[in-house]
Amino acid sequence: MEESYKKLVDSKSKSLLKKHLTKKIFDKLKTKTTPTFNSTLMHCISSGLCNHDSGVGLYAPDAEAYKVFADLFDPVIEEYHKGFKKTDKQPKPCFGQGKDFENLDPDGNFIVSTRVRCGRAVKGFPFNPCLRERDYLELESKLCKALMTLTCEHKGIYMPLTGMDEAVQKQLIDDHFLFKQGDRFLAAAGASRFWPTGRGIFLNEPKDFMVWCNEEDHIRIIAMEKGGDLGRVYNRMVAGVEALGKEIEFSRDERLGYLTFCPTNLGTSIRASVHIKLPNLMDQPEELQKLAKEYRLQIRGTSGEHSEAEDGVHDISNQRRIGLTEYEIIKEMHDGIKGLIEAECKAKAA
């Protein structure tokens, strides 16, 4: 670990890990372990040590890591989430009403599709580096039992990755329903062990609600549809979260909110995104980046993280996930996308 750490220090990495893992903190934390699962600093930083091009480079091997290695997690959380200090506390869950958010693009001029997702961890289970093969299977079994209770618009089927026809899997990924495989950042973080055991996707009949099992987090709850009706998509995700929350006890920390494998997903764990075409703004990359920063938005490629835009379609979403209620996160994204569309119209008229 010492040698890999020195290579990171000497590298041109711009990761938050490199920025905040000072030698003093490294020396203070390198011998610490978490009490229940005996997780180490190496479990937390292995991805960022292997991938110097990480944006963050840090993951929590279990819930206790956020406290045992707080000297490293707290400054990374504060910077990524734009100011959530170690003395700040996540508000109690408040989803509000999706009806407050009007369709972002009723005439269908810009937005191809809208997606809202959140992550959840099952209380008592660690995260990927500490999960045994039987833990993945137990998590899958618990989730499937809960999924079978879903009714009405959420009713659907669970498809395990084990035994899934390759063509079916490729189509589900191409349709943006299913997660990609082989993410090197996640692999280096220990998230691909025993793959594909315990991994899978639940899809409802209309294919506008899905639940991922054991990709990066234990559970990802997702609603998605064509067009820009953020309020309707948000309501569908919230109803799914609340239904599953009646069957499964989620892991929630008093200060950090809902716990996740990656510190970028803590708090509400909500990422609300649009696949959107803004051709005029895309021709002014500096202006677009300035607006994204102003609205606290993150820009990804068409196939999500670590991908490029195809046919001018970008994935634009809220950056912050902690320090605000669920409702406030959705409002921040809604207002940001509205602002980008207004700027696109001005750029077109100019």
Residues known to be catalytic: 117, 216, 220, 262, 264, 271, 300, 305
Least spacing, CB of residue 158 vs ligand ADP, in Å: 18
Nearer to ligand ADP by Cβ, of 197 and 303: the residue is 303
Q: Does 190 bind ligand DAR (CB under 6 A)?
A: no
**Judged by CB, which is closer to ligand ADP: 5, or 202?**
202
Give the span between the Cα atoms of 13 and 178, in whole angstroms.
30
Q: Taking contact as CB under 6 A, which single stretch among the options 69-77, 90-98, 202-210, 262-270 is the one that binds ligand DAR?
A: 262-270
State how far the Cα of 96 lies from the Cα of 99, in Å rounded to an integer. Answer: 9
Question: What is the torsion angle, in degrees rounded to the nearest 10, for the CA atoms of residue 255, residue 298, residue 233 and residue 137?
Answer: -60
Could you give the string, one character per residue 218-257, with x where binding to ligand DAR holds by CB under 6 A and - elsewhere?
----------------------------------------
How far apart, in whole angstroms, are the C-alpha atoms of residue 116 and residue 186? 21
315 contacts ligand DAR (rule: CB under 6 A): no
From ligand DAR, ligand ADP, none, which one binds at residue 273 (CB under 5 to 8 Å depending on kind)?
ligand ADP
- In whole angstroms, the minimum distance from the beta carbon of 216 to ligand ADP comes to 7
Closest CA to 255 of 36, 63, 40: 63
88 vs 305 by CB, closer to ligand DAR: 305
Q: Measured between alpha carbons, how far is 178 from 56 in angstroms, rounded to an integer?
A: 24
* Chosen from ligand DAR, ligand ADP, none, partner binding at 262 (C-beta under 5 to 8 Å by type): ligand DAR
The binding site for ATP consists of: 113-117, 176, 220, 271-275, 300-305
Structure tokens at 191: 């998230």
Question: Which of ligand DAR, ligand ADP, none is residue 26 near (CB under 5 to 8 Å by kind)?
Answer: none
Chosen residue from 21, 44, 49, 56 binding ligand DAR by CB under 6 A: 56
- In eight-state DSSP terms, residue 81 is T
- The residue within the footprint of ligand DAR, chosen from 46, 54, 114, 317 (CB under 6 A), is 54
Q: Which residues contact 286 (CB under 8 A, 6 or more apart)?
A: none
For residue 267, give the nearest of 111, 116, 124, 89 by alpha carbon: 89
List alpha helices for 195-311, DSSP H.
230-245, 279-282, 285-294
Sequence-distant (6+) residues with CB within 8 A of 5 are 21, 26, 45, 49
SS3 349: helix
Number of residues counted as binding ligand DAR (CB under 6 A): 10
Q: Which does 55 bind (CB under 5 to 8 A by kind): ligand ADP, ligand DAR, none?
A: ligand DAR
Alpha-carbon span 231 to 338, nearest angstrom = 14
Cα separation, 168 vs 200, in Å, equals: 12
Q: Distance between CA atoms of 240 and 208, rounded to whole angstroms?
A: 11
Q: Taking the complex as a whole, how short is the minimal distance between the CB of residue 47 and ligand DAR, in angstroms?
A: 6
Closer residue to ligand DAR (CB): 262 or 276: 262
- Contacts to ligand DAR by CB under 6 A: 54-57, 185, 216, 262, 264-265, 305
